[in-house]
């Protein structure tokens, strides 16, 4: 043990071990599940434009999204990273780690005598529990790229103060990076105002006269202020908003001019609430009781990773250290770190408040976390300063920081697992759409009773489905997704027939509820994708509202194509080789639509050969009808009996199927015996 402790003592915060430790911590929090993550939420508009319309079309997408200057970033990233999810998740992880590393290098220059406190803050920042959309890696790169440029710019600025020979080059690079992140991502426009405070602290150390230090601080800040002023002038007076309006317009500035007192009061209230959420309340999520269920293997794996994170952070922070150079007293560091943290929290949230939004009332708790990515640095500083001030012994301090980081790592793992499940479900539904509906007539609305993909949303699901169909360079979306409840649609109106309109960026869909496909997708209940038909109005396995919606479902809008078994685009989804039962069901349901009964029978035979059977009785229906139309009545009867055994409550649907079969098949003694037997078994008179 003494030898190990001596070896650990050879490490130092001043060396290269801190970035390695930061990377290991980032990897534990965000890298372990990266190979199983995909695309989500705002990732999909980027994917849709880049994949279907070509990477240069991101200029169009980002102009409509009120971020025209971010096009260079995404064009570059898609050109380098391509479309495979893993590349994007690794890029987002590296950007997060590099941001933390450059901030740590900055803090070393500001507080050279307090390396431990700087390490506390960066470790807490890297796994801070507020920013929850790291798994949405394409979208997250907008934020992390901006944060990375900002942190690198700050470090270059600090370095220029002690490098007179390279000062011009360093300042030029720092100003360029400030302009780059301001014009690319507006999320850090408030944080740039922290520069004079940092400059004052660093310059004041070398100048005895406060007046001289103030003049030098302002003079040093001037080129950065010019970059900020240029951005503000461009954004307020020269920016050409898209036809749909500027969704990031600084509404608060105009409201302050028209109603200064009430607006200021509301701003103070919002600032207090949002700052509390980022700084304090966000840590409550790390104590979720659901993480302690230990009902799955993943729960135990996550616990093991948390133990590793705790042990690694604790050992790293507790290793013997060299004597730091002379510097500020503990009280000075505490006050400076706490002040900087509070300032960064406020300035980090300022862009959100300027556009008239806030975190506390945001309707999407996941999307709202992007607004606090800059403020999370301030929250980490506040917590680091409080722990260092309130906890007296180094061992206890290390244990507290290790506990916080371990809890955050566990929370991020559980959060990522939700995204893993969402991606798996996305791949399944997109593939099953292609199997069941290889070609859909343009102008088709896809309707469900509620959203069936977690951490997605209406427009994201629409873009995902269109990308799966590889619709190409379209100006009008050929389909759109409408979840009844989430889209606030009137059920009676949809059933009677209403116009449907929705869009995102430059894509605007217009259609009718009478020209739709009504779907149900609940793989959690061992079901495949069901594209319902009007005759499914008696299906008791789905909610009543969905049964009513089935009356407007028009499967005639599904067309056969030369590639009935077309696959998902491999560039995004990889090569999907696993088919399973749902392949046979979707293909059989498609063949049933076109009365290709021989095809349905061959699919049943192939499924049996592969030992695949339905997990829900409803999925027997295409095969029951096929064998009946092929006059194999005993097989049809046995399948119907099996269907009723697999799913209780299916009898009304089976009875309706028997009515259709009798109307569409020729009379025979075998038919009569089979139908009578089944009607008696299902007590069909009860449902007449």
642 in a domain, yes or no? yes
Q: What is the pLDDT of residues 370-421, one digit of tens each?
A: 888 999 999 999 999 999 999 888 899 999 999 999 999 999 999 999 999 9
Do 407 and 450 lie in a common domain?
A: no
Nearest residue to 140 (alpha-carbon basis) of 280, 41, 231: 41
- Which one of 389, 419, 449 terminates a domain? 419
For 202-229, what is the mean pLDDT?
A: 89
For 50-64, what is the mean pLDDT?
A: 94
Residue 35 structure tokens:
């190979």
- The pLDDT, as a whole number, for residue 75 is 97
Higher pLDDT, 89 or 165: 89
CB count within 10 Å of CB 542 equals 19
Do 534 and 462 lie in a common domain?
A: yes
Nearest residue to 684 (alpha-carbon basis) of 659, 667, 661: 659
- The pLDDT, as a whole number, for residue 476 is 95
- The pLDDT, as a whole number, for residue 330 is 61
For 39-46, what is the mean pLDDT?
A: 96
Confidence category of residue 358, pLDDT binned at 50, 70, 90: confident
CB count within 10 Å of CB 472 equals 11
Residue 563 structure tokens:
């590639």
Higher pLDDT, 67 or 91: 91
CATH number at residue 600: 1.25.40
For 472-489, what is the mean pLDDT?
A: 91
573 in a domain, yes or no? no
- The pLDDT, as a whole number, for residue 607 is 94
Place of tokens 């911590």: 25
Whole-angstrom distance, CA of residue 592 vs CA of residue 624 = 10
- The pLDDT, as a whole number, for residue 565 is 61
Q: What is the pLDDT of residues 78-115, one digit of tens each?
A: 999 999 999 999 999 999 999 999 999 999 999 988 88
Do 355 and 465 lie in a common domain?
A: no
Whole-angstrom distance, CA of residue 63 vs CA of residue 70 = 9
Whole-angstrom distance, CA of residue 644 vs CA of residue 650 = 6
77 in a domain, yes or no? yes
**Sign of CA pseudo-dihedral 366, 372, 377, 381:** negative
For 328-334, what is the mean pLDDT?
A: 72
Do 72 and 10 lie in a common domain?
A: yes
Confidence category of residue 66, pLDDT binned at 50, 70, 90: confident
- The pLDDT, as a whole number, for residue 115 is 86
- The pLDDT, as a whole number, for residue 566 is 77
- The pLDDT, as a whole number, for residue 328 is 59
Q: What is the pLDDT of residues 500-525, one digit of tens each?
A: 999 899 999 999 999 999 999 999 99
% of the chain surpassing 90 pLDDT: 71
Residue 356's domain spans which residues? 2-419
Do 521 and 660 lie in a common domain?
A: no
For 328-340, what is the mean pLDDT?
A: 82
Confidence category of residue 468, pLDDT binned at 50, 70, 90: very high
- The pLDDT, as a whole number, for residue 1 is 46
570 in a domain, yes or no? no
Do 672 and 554 lie in a common domain?
A: no
Helix (H, G, I), strand (E, B) or coil at 530: strand
- The pLDDT, as a whole number, for residue 250 is 76
204 in a domain, yes or no? yes
- The pLDDT, as a whole number, for residue 10 is 46
Helix (H, G, I), strand (E, B) or coil at 500: strand
Residue 119 structure tokens:
């390490």
Residue 640 structure tokens:
């119907």
- The pLDDT, as a whole number, for residue 324 is 57
255 in a domain, yes or no? yes
Confidence category of residue 7, pLDDT binned at 50, 70, 90: very low
Confidence category of residue 475, pLDDT binned at 50, 70, 90: very high
| Highest mean pLDDT pick, 197-211, 510-524, 574-588, 657-671 | 510-524
- Tell me how long the chain is: 688
Strands 444-448 and 516-521 come out as parallel
Do 480 and 402 lie in a common domain?
A: no
Strands 558-559 and 444-448 come out as unpaired
Whole-angstrom distance, CA of residue 613 vs CA of residue 678 = 21
pLDDT over 50 at 11, yes or no: no
pLDDT over 80 at 12, yes or no: no
Do 231 and 282 lie in a common domain?
A: yes
Of the listed ranges 60-69, 205-214, 601-610, the least confidently predicted one is 205-214
Do 189 and 307 lie in a common domain?
A: yes
For 440-455, what is the mean pLDDT?
A: 93
Strands 529-531 and 439-440 come out as unpaired
Do 185 and 64 lie in a common domain?
A: yes
Do 587 and 552 lie in a common domain?
A: no
- Which one of 559, 593, 623 terminates a domain? 559
- Which one of 501, 529, 559 terminates a domain? 559
17 in a domain, yes or no? yes
Number of domains in the chain: 3
Q: How many alpha carbons lie under 13 Å from residue 87 in its C-beta half-sphere?
A: 12
- The pLDDT, as a whole number, for residue 32 is 96
Place of tokens 């003079």: 219
431 in a domain, yes or no? no
**Checking phi first, is residue 209 left (phi over 0); if not, alpha (psi -120 to 50) or beta?**
beta
Do 453 and 598 lie in a common domain?
A: no
Whole-angstrom distance, CA of residue 408 vs CA of residue 287 = 9
Q: Rounded mean pLDDT of the chain?
A: 90
């Amino acid at each position: 043990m003494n030898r190990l402790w001596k070896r650990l003592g050879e490490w130092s915060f001043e060396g290269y071990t801190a970035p390695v430790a930061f990377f290991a911590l980032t990897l534990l929090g965000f890298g372990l599940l990266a190979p199983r993550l995909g695309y989500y939420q705002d990732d999909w508009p980027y994917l849709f434009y880049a994949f279907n319309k070509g990477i240069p079309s991101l200029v169009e997408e980002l102009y409509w999204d009120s971020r025209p200057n971010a096009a260079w970033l995404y064009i570059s990233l898609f050109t380098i990273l391509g479309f495979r999810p893993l590349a994007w998740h690794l890029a987002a992880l590296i950007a997060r780690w590099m941001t933390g590393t450059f901030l740590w290098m900055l803090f070393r220059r500001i507080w050279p005598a307090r390396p431990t406190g700087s390490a506390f803050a960066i470790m807490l920042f890297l796994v801070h529990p507020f920013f929850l959309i790291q798994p949405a890696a394409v979208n997250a790169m907008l934020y992390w790229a901006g944060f990375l440029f900002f942190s690198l710019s700050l470090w270059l600025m600090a370095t220029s103060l002690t490098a007179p020979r390279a000062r011009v080059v360093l300042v030029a690079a720092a100003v360029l990076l400030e302009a780059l992140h301001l014009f690319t991502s507006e999320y850090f426009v408030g944080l740039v105002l922290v520069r004079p405070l940092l400059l004052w602290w660093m310059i004041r150390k070398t100048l005895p006269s406060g007046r001289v230090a103030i003049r030098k601080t302002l003079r040093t800040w001037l080129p950065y202020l010019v970059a900020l002023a240029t951005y503000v002038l461009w954004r307020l007076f020269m920016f050409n908003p898209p036809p749909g309006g500027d969704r990031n317009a600084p509404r608060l500035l105009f409201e302050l001019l028209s109603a200064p007192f009430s607006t200021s009061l509301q701003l103070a209230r919002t600032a207090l609430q949002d700052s509390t959420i980022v700084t304090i309340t966000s840590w409550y999520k790390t104590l979720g009781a659901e993480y302690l269920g230990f009902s799955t293997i993943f729960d135990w794996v996550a616990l093991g990773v948390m133990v590793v994170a705790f042990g690694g952070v604790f050992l790293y922070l507790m290793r013997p250290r060299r004597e730091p150079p002379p510097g500020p007293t503990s009280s000075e560091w505490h006050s400076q770190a706490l002040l900087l943290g509070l300032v960064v929290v406020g300035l980090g949230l300022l862009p959100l408040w300027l556009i008239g939004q806030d975190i506390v009332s945001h309707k999407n708790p996941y999307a709202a976390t992007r607004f606090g990515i800059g403020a999370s640095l301030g929250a980490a500083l506040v917590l680091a300063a409080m722990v260092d001030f309130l906890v007296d012994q180094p061992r206890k301090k290390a244990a507290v920081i290790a506990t916080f980081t371990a809890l955050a790592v566990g929370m991020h793992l559980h959060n990522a697992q939700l995204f893993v499940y969402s991606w798996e479900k996305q791949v399944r539904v997109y593939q099953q759409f292609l199997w069941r509906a290889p070609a859909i007539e343009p102008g088709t609305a896809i309707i469900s009773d509620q959203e069936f993909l977690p951490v997605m949303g209406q427009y994201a699901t629409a873009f995902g489905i269109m990308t799966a169909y590889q619709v190409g360079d379209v100006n009008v979306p050929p389909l759109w997704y409408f979840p009844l409840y989430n889209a606030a649609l009137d059920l009676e109106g949809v059933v009677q027939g209403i116009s449907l309109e929705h869009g995102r960026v430059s894509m605007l869909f217009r259609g009718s509820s009478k020209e739709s496909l009504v779907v149900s997708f609940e793989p959690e209940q061992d079901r495949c994708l069901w594209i319902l038909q009007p005759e499914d109005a008696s299906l008791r396995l789905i909610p009543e509202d969905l049964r009513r919606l089935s009356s407007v479902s028009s499967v005639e809008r599904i067309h056969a194509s030369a590639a009935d078994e077309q696959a998902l685009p491999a560039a995004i989804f990889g090569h999907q080789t696993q088919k399973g039962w749902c392949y046979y069901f979707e293909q059989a349901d498609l063949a049933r639509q076109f009365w290709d009964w021989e095809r349905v029978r061959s699919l049943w035979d192939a499924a049996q050969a592969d030992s695949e059977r339905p997990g829900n009785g409803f999925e027997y229906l295409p095969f029951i009808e096929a064998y009946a139309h092929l006059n194999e009545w005993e097989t049809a009867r046995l399948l119907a009996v099996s269907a009723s055994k697999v799913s209780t409550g299916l009898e009304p649907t089976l009875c309706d199927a028997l009515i259709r079969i009798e109307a569409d098949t020729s009379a025979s003694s075998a038919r009569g015996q089979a139908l009578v037997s089944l009607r008696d078994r299902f007590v069909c008179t009860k449902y007449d």
